[in-house]
Structure 1
Amino acid sequence: MEIEIATIGGYEEVGRQMTAVRAGDDIVVFDMGLNLSKVLIHDNIETEGMHSLDLIDMGAIPDDRIMNDLEGDVQAIVPTHGHLDHIGAISKLAHRYDAPIVASPFTLELVKGQIEGEQKFGVDNDLVEMEAGETMDIGDDVELEFVNVTHSVIGAINPVLHTPEGAVVYGLDKRMDHDPVIGDPIDMERFREIGREGEGVLCYVEDCTNANRKGRTPSESVARSELKDVMQSMEDYDGGIVATTFASHIARVKSLVEFARDIGREPILLGRSMEQYSGAAERIGAVSFTNDLGMFGHRKSVDRAFERIMNEGKENFLPIVTGHQGEPRAMLTRMGRGETAYDLEEGDKVIFSAGIIPEPTNEGQRYQSEQLLRMQGARIYDDVHVSGHLRQEGHYQMLDTLQPDHLIPAHQNMEGFSGYVSLAESQGYEVGHDLHVTSNGNTIQIVE
């Protein structure tokens, strides 16, 4: 059976992921993501009303026109998890394909939200829910399997295509967390079985976000412990405390809510994405917040929440807000610019329970946000966080576990691939032979 892999997006940057695997006459598309930095660099752009071709020209979503060169039919669109760099282009591109969108429950709930908010295209693809550990037939000779992984969002999976030539493992995005705060640990046992059964692993596509970093990525339980320590150190502070994290990081939001109450403060979630992600997690039963937890996404309701905090005393509250990357319209950035009723004063604490996404736009915006906060006297608690991506020792362990015949580095630019290339070469792989360093818009023939 011919096996061909199209590297459509996410092979020159961190963002807009999209990969297609052709096995014979059947094609499966993994991820359709957005490069948010290409949007944020423009003022007041609302992608919901934009045409896909304009977004492609901006470099914001994958240029999927290379799909015309693949000889076969798309049988499924499979987002690996709910981050925008993996699902943010589904509402712009999925309607081009007569294929269902197959995802884990939380990811599918977020995809529904993307589709409902779309203003330019009608997306009528069937939505199919599939749990980690389940399988689905793709055509007559190929099977799709979801393997549970741990990441900085719940419901993450690594999809595996089982073909007569061996398995194709799409390894974006994960860390090896054996003690997650929510959900099951990464299923390394199943990965080991896949590496040893049948024809083994034909090809492994791997996320290289942290491939230049030595050591091992810590568990989310480590971040939870660090966050608890930081917040307990503030228990006697009688001024304002504000926290920000990835809205999609439900485990981290859950920890912030719990620790706020532990130190006698009422948590309130503020910002549109905070309301969207936490609401979605509650709807599918992945997390249960108390009925009195306020979640406010619309501007007027957010403004009223800030007014209530100031009227009742900000020492009684912990606003958990959007804006960890310094996004211009996010809540924390507005607070730093003095555009809300919340009055930041000398000595107030701001907890960034998030790392900076390694991309120049994010780095610049985050720097500006922190400077605005400091100008108002805020004290910054930075990087109370652990990454959702493997470091070098995790990559080594995955190679040892899967023993793939071919490797394709993804989710980085050429500089970011360097650490992974060095590690793979140390394990006997050779660039141009079985280690395929590629870019957007290419196809790689694995089996002719």
Structure 2
Amino acid sequence: MEIEIATIGGYEEVGRNCTAVRAGDDIVIFDMGLNLSKVLIHDNVETERMHSLDLIDMGAIPDDRVMSDLEGDVKAIVPTHGHLDHIGAISKLAHRYDAPIVARPFTIELVKGQLEGEQKFGVDNELVKMDPDERMAIGDECELELVHVTHSIIDASNPVLHTPEGSVVYGLDKRIDHNPVIEEPFDMQRFREIANEGEGVLAYIEDTTNAGRKGRTPSESHARNHLKDVMYSLEDYSGGIVATTFSSHVSRVTSLVEFAKDIGRQPILLGRSMERYSGTAERMGRVNFPDNLGMFGHRKSVDRAFKRIMNEGKGNFLPIVTGHQGEPRAMLTRMGRGETPFDFDDGDKVIFSARVIPEPTNEGQRYQSEQLLRMQGARIYDDVHVSGHLSQEGHYQMLQELQPQHVIPAHQNLENVGKYVPLAESQGYKMGRDLHVARNGQTIQLTE
């Protein structure tokens, strides 16, 4: 069977991830993501109102026109998890394919939200919820499986396409976490089994975000302990404390809510995406927040919450807000610019339970946000966080467990992908033979 891989997006940047795998006459597309930095550099861009071709030209969504070079029919669109760099282009591209969108339940709920907000295209692809213990037929000879992995969002998976020539493992966005906060541990056992089934692993597409970072990425429980230490150290502080993290990081939000209660403060979630992710998780029964936890996304309700905080005393509350990357329209950035009823006093604390995404736009915006906060007298607690991506020891372990015939690094610019190359070469892979560094829009023929 011919096996071919199209590297559509995410092979030259952080974001707009998209890869297609053709097995004979059947094609599976993994991820359709957004490159948010390409949107944020423009003022007041509303992607939901824009045409896909304009967004492709901006470099904001994958240029899927390379799909015309693949001879076959798309059988499934499979997002790995609910981050925008993996689902943010589904509303713009999925309608081009007569195929279901297949993902784990939390991811499907987030995709629904994306589709409901779309104002340019009508997307009526079937939405199929799939759990890690299930299989889905792809044509007559292949099967799709979602292996549970741990990341900075719940219900993350590494999809596996089982073919007669071996399995193709799409390995983006994970860390090996044996002690997560609210989820099952990383399923390394299933990866070991896949490596020993049939023809083994034909190809492994790997996220190289932290390929230059030595050692092992710590567990989310490590971040929880760090956050607990910071929060408890502020128990006697009577002024304002504000926390910010990835709105999609439900595990981290859960810890912030719990520790706020422990130190006698009422947590309040503020920001549209904070309300969307945590609200969805709560409705699905994935988390148990206190009954009186406030979640506010719209500006008027957010401003009312800030007025209440100021009237009743900042020392009684912990606002948990969006804006950890310094996004211009996010809540923390508005607070730093003085555009909300919340006033900082000298010595007030801002806890960044997040690391800046290593991309120039994000780094510049985060720097500006921190300067605005400092100018108002805030003191910053930085990097109370652990990454959601493998570091070097995790990469070594995945290669040793899977023993793939071919390795394809992804999810970074070429400079950072280059940091993965010597790591893979040390394990016996060779550029141009079985280690394939690709650009966006290329195809890689694995079998003929």
TM-score, normalised to structure 2, is 1.00
**Cα distance in 2, alignment partners of residues 351 and 31 from structure 1:** 32
Alignment partner, residue 284 of structure 1: 284
Alignment partner, residue 377 of structure 1: 377
Q: Deviations over 1:298-344 (max 9, x none)?
A: 01000100000001101000000000000000000000000100010
The 8 Å contact of residues 241 and 348 in structure 1, kept in 2 or not, is answered as yes
Q: Per-residue deviation at 1:198?
A: 1.0
Question: How do 1:140-155 residues align onto structure 2 when only pairs under 5 Å count?
Answer: 140-155=140-155
Alignment partner, residue 440 of structure 1: 440
Alignment partner, residue 250 of structure 1: 250
Q: Per-residue deviation at 1:62?
A: 0.2
Q: Deviations over 1:236-293 (max 9, x none)?
A: 0000000000000000000000000000000000000000000111122111212210
Q: Per-residue deviation at 1:108?
A: 0.4
Q: Deviations over 1:182-204 (max 9, x none)?
A: 11011000101111121000000
Alignment partner, residue 116 of structure 2: 116
Matched pairs, number: 448
Alignment partner, residue 316 of structure 1: 316
**Cα distance in 2, alignment partners of residues 101 and 285 from structure 1:** 23
Q: Per-residue deviation at 1:419?
A: 2.0
Q: Deviations over 1:375-431 (max 9, x none)?
A: 011000000000000000000000000000000000011110122110100011000
Alignment partner, residue 206 of structure 1: 206
Alignment partner, residue 193 of structure 2: 193
The 3-state SS of whatever aligns with 1:22 is strand
Question: How do 1:380-419 residues align onto structure 2 when only pairs under 5 Å count?
Answer: 380-419=380-419
**Cα distance in 2, alignment partners of residues 414 and 125 from structure 1:** 33
1:223 maps to a residue whose letter is A
| Unpaired segments ≥5 residues, structure 2 | none
The 8 Å contact of residues 133 and 148 in structure 1, kept in 2 or not, is answered as no
Alignment partner, residue 422 of structure 2: 422
The 8 Å contact of residues 268 and 317 in structure 1, kept in 2 or not, is answered as yes
Q: Per-residue deviation at 1:133?
A: 2.3
2:431 maps to a residue whose letter is V
Sequence identity of aligned pairs in percent? Answer: 81
Alignment partner, residue 136 of structure 1: 136
Q: Deviations over 1:123-175 (max 9, x none)?
A: 00000000122111111000001100000000000000000000000001100
Alignment partner, residue 63 of structure 1: 63
2:18 maps to a residue whose letter is M
Alignment partner, residue 342 of structure 2: 342
Alignment partner, residue 235 of structure 1: 235
Alignment partner, residue 295 of structure 2: 295
TM-score, normalised to structure 1, is 1.00
Alignment partner, residue 331 of structure 1: 331
**Cα distance in 1, alignment partners of residues 198 and 25 from structure 2:** 21
**Cα distance in 2, alignment partners of residues 131 and 37 from structure 1:** 32
The 8 Å contact of residues 212 and 418 in structure 1, kept in 2 or not, is answered as no
Which aligned segments of 4 or more residues in structure 1 are displaced greater than 4 angstroms?
Answer: none
**Cα distance in 2, alignment partners of residues 442 and 280 from structure 1:** 37
| Unpaired segments ≥5 residues, structure 1 | none
Q: Deviations over 1:15-54 (max 9, x none)?
A: 0000000000000000000000000001111111000000
Alignment partner, residue 269 of structure 1: 269
CA-atom RMSD, angstroms? 0.5
Question: How do 1:157-172 residues align onto structure 2 when only pairs under 5 Å count?
Answer: 157-172=157-172
1:18 maps to a residue whose letter is C
**Cα distance in 1, alignment partners of residues 132 and 327 from structure 2:** 33
1:216 maps to a residue whose letter is R
